[in-house]
């Protein structure tokens, strides 16, 4: 859930989740927060609740007494009791106390609390969703219109700004009777602020508070521990998924028009699990548990950390509990691209979302003294520098424009060229301004390639890609009196090519289970307009005084709620579909051609994109609502998948939260899971891979589908049968696909696809092939 550069708060620091070692070097007297996994079935009968059992367990530990567990005591070590999203509890413990707990037969494992990272209106039109309901024209009827109001999206993020017009409930019917959530009152947040649109708001801060207490951070006392969003990120993601219609929306004049979410009739429930220092796994699990119990239909998580085994991944475990209840879970892929193997939230029961561009841009121009005009982007809305050329300067020794690096004598009255990287994009402009500069060109380097992100800068500024950046740097170095004129072009639509895979969007392959292709899908995630808070400045800089009820930011945090909103629409149209069926519909109907009818490209270097960047492709909501066929999978199928990973039985039980799991059934290969994509690994001793998939007919009866394969010359792909005939709706048919690699393949990776089609539908699955010497 990280937004990039200036949209990525410097406070969100990633701490890798690690299994506690018995040889911990932590001081015996210092405390940290741990998540303790317990054998639930071992609860003694003398305790009426798990909370009572855990309290008694902790009170028996060294240096703890029953007085510590007083509800009014600040020293109460028991932070959360988990019974839905996890089996166990979160507590503040010393390493000595942890050692004592590990000796108990009913303790399966203990994990240190993890700090996750946050990963943000034209998009409905770009996605073809132009009706009031969010559904394509021709699909809306009275029954479906009513169903749209019954879908509830739970957003785990930084909270919500309830006064935002994006949560206006005008015209909404009564809250669904099945809803069990509530609107919690707290600092700067009255329960009456919720309505028939924003039907729930809760906050979870015990993990965060304990972490701040343990590091003696007095600033934590000023944090608003209520559902109130003081960051903006949560309001942005919630309104992206399901914001109501807001006319005359814009960001200081940019992207003006009607703002609305993907599912504008869906209800929203906000769960604040992210704070000034990030999102702790103990708080995330508590939020997921409450959302499941409250009765949400979709969970949207624009957050993540580094990939880890599923039994030590709090989001993966909480998500498994959700899908068991029929709740669709979408999560952001991460903002660590274009680095390979950087994708997060890779569990197969999670829909992992990468980011692409829109066909909307905010052009800005730099005309050099040699008359060469270069086009970049910007959201600058103040007074420009005029039409007269201004001196242009680039100093290689201070090119990053970090704090204290600029010489005012060099910069004063000039436009500064700053290399992207090291510090925030908007922060660079502030540093230039303080040094007396009148403008800035933010030039990409090889790390960020050709991707330019529009920002609201504090001075006239234009962001350009690496090629134009190199042109500018060369010009400044060769001209004795370099000059530039900066100008701003407002909002431009129908930009081509679009979409393009964002450079920051995290890439595969999947390092936890290489047999599962990740990410699953991409959606709009660059320069997205959505609701914001009423107090946070859009640039996050203290010197930036204007506020706006909307903001334009970028990240997989922004693409994730697009998919969450679409899942809500599909849930309304097909209420009996499982989370995996909804995921399949989204994936198999995605497209891989841009609006110039060319194969999708990626922004960093302009190369052709691959499924490791875009997954199945870019989401196509209209087709996803009527996919024809789906690859379905149950919770039991995921357990079978887990049993094939060589995890211990206790680890599988940890994820499945089922003490009766025995792994009597497992796949010969984890890739046998009935997944809508394929990831094949060949080696010196493995040249053949064979998989069986099952398709369920959710289209018309008496449908016939024929197969088409596309793959590299180095692999022979054989599908049997080549035709599937479905006599009835919901009928299932199986097919087997065999992949045979040629000998002595020199390449390391290649890609292909399998498509089942008829006159109405194309059901396409991407394939990734890798070769190793093992």
- Catalytic residue set: 157, 233, 557
CA distance linking residue 302 with residue 353, whole number of Å: 9
Answer whether the bond into residue 747 is a cis peptide, omega within 30°.
no
Secondary structure percentages of the chain, helix, strand, coil, to 5: 25, 30, 50
- Residue 288, H or E segment: helix 281-294
CA distance linking residue 609 with residue 32, whole number of Å: 43
CA distance linking residue 235 with residue 536, whole number of Å: 11
* Residue 306 and residue 477 in contact, taking contact as beta carbons nearer than 8 Å: no
Return the closest-CA partner of residue 34 out of 103, 85, 101, 84.
101
Tokens matching residue 283: 């708080």
Tokens matching residue 221: 């006392």
* Residue 352 and residue 119 in contact, taking contact as beta carbons nearer than 8 Å: no
CA distance linking residue 738 with residue 741, whole number of Å: 10
CA distance linking residue 556 with residue 550, whole number of Å: 18
Phi (first) and psi of residue 668, to 5 degrees: -70, -25
Return the closest-CA partner of residue 467 out of 479, 459, 475.
475
- CA 546 distance to own-chain centroid: 28
Return the closest-CA partner of residue 587 out of 562, 555, 623.
623
Q: Identify the three-state secondary structure at position 754.
A: strand
Answer whether the bond into residue 561 is a cis peptide, omega within 30°.
no
* Residue 91 and residue 60 in contact, taking contact as beta carbons nearer than 8 Å: no
Burial class (CB in 10 A: 0-12, 13-18, 19+), 96: middle
Phi (first) and psi of residue 248, to 5 degrees: 55, 35
CA distance linking residue 338 with residue 507, whole number of Å: 6
Tokens matching residue 719: 């599908």
Compute the chain's Rg from CA coordinates. Answer: 26
């Amino acid at each position: 859930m990280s937004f990039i550069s200036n949209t990525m708060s410097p406070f969100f620091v990633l701490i890798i989740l690690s299994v506690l070692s018995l040889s911990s070097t932590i001081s015996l007297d210092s405390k940290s927060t741990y998540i303790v996994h317990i054998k639930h079935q071992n609860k003694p009968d003398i305790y009426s609740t798990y909370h009572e059992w855990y309290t008694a367990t902790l009170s028996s530990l060294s240096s703890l007494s029953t007085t510590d567990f007083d509800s009014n005591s600040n020293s109460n070590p028991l932070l959360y009791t988990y019974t839905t999203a996890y089996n166990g509890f979160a507590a503040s413990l010393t390493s000595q106390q942890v050692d004592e707990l590990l000796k108990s037969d009913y303790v399966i494992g203990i994990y240190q609390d993890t700090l996750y990272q946050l990963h943000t209106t034209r998009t409905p039109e770009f996605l073809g969703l132009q009706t009031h309901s969010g559904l394509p024209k021709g699909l809306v009827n009275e029954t479906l219109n009513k169903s749209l109001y019954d879908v509830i999206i739970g957003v785990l993020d930084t909270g919500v700004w309830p006064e935002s017009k994006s949560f206006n409930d005008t015209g909404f019917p009564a809250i669904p009777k099945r809803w069990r959530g509530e609107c919690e009152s707290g600092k700067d947040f009255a329960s009456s602020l919720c309505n028939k649109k924003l039907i729930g708001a809760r906050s979870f801060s015990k993990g965060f508070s304990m972490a701040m207490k343990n590091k003696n951070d007095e600033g934590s006392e000023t944090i608003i521990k209520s559902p109130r969003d003081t960051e903006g990120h949560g309001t942005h993601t919630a309104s992206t998924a399901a914001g109501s219609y807001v006319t005359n929306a814009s960001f200081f004049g940019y992207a003006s028009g009607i703002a609305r979410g993907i599912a504008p009739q869906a209800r929203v429930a906000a769960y604040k699990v992210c704070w000034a220092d990030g999102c702790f796994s103990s708080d995330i699990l508590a939020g997921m548990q409450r959302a499941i119990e409250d009765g949400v239909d979709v969970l949207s998580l624009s957050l993540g950390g580094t990939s880890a085994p599923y039994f030590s991944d709090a989001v993966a475990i909480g998500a498994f509990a959700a899908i068991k209840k029929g709740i669709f879970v979408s999560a952001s892929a991460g903002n660590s691209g274009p680095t390979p193997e950087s994708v997060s939230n890779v569990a197969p029961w999670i829909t992992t979302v990468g980011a692409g561009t829109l066909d909307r841009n905010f052009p800005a121009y730099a005309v050099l003294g040699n008359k060469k005009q270069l086009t970049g982007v910007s959201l600058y809305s103040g007074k420009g520098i005029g039409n007269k050329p201004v001196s242009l300067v680039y100093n290689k020794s201070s090119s990053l424009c970090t704090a204290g690096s600029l010489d005012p004598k060099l910069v004063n009255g000039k436009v500064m060229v700053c290399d992207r990287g090291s510090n925030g994009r908007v922060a660079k402009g502030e540093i230039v301004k303080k040094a007396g500069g009148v403008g800035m060109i933010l030039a990409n380097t090889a790390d960020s390639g050709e991707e330019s992100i529009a920002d609201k800068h504090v001075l006239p500024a234009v962001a350009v890609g690496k090629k134009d950046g190199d042109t500018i740097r060369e010009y400044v170095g060769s001209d004795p009196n370099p000059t530039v004129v900066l100008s701003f072009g407002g909002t431009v639509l129908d930009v081509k090519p679009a979409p393009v895979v964002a450079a920051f969007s995290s890439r595969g392959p999947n390092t936890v289970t290489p047999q599962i292709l990740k990410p699953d899908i991409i959606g709009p995630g660059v320069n997205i307009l959505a609701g914001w808070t009423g107090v946070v400045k859009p640039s996050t800089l203290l010197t930036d005084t204007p506020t706006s009820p909307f903001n334009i930011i970028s990240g997989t945090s922004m693409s994730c709620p697009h998919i969450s909103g679409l899942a809500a629409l599909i849930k309304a149209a097909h209420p009996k579909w499982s989370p995996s069926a909804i995921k399949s519909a989204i994936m198999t109907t995605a497209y891989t051609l841009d609006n110039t009818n060319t194969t999708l490209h990626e922004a960093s270097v302009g190369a052709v994109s691959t499924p490791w960047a875009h997954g199945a492709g870019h989401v196509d909501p209209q087709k996803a609502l009527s996919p024809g066929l789906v690859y379905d999978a149950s919770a039991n199928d995921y357990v079978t998948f887990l049993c094939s990973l060589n995890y211990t039985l206790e680890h599988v039980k940890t994820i499945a939260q089922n003490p009766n799991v025995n792994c009597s059934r497992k796949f010969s290969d984890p890739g046998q899971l009935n997944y809508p994509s394929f990831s094949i690994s060949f080696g010196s001793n493995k040249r053949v891979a064979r998989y069986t998939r099952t398709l369920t007919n959710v289209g018309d009866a008496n449908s016939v589908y024929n197969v088409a394969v596309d793959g590299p010359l180095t692999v022979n792909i054989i599908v049997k049968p080549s035709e599937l005939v479905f006599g009835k709706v919901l009928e299932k048919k199986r097919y087997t696909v065999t992949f045979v690699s040629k000998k002595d393949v020199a390449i390391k990776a290649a890609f292909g696809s399998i498509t089942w089609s008829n006159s109405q539908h194309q059901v396409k699955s991407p394939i990734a092939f890798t070769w190793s010497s093992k």
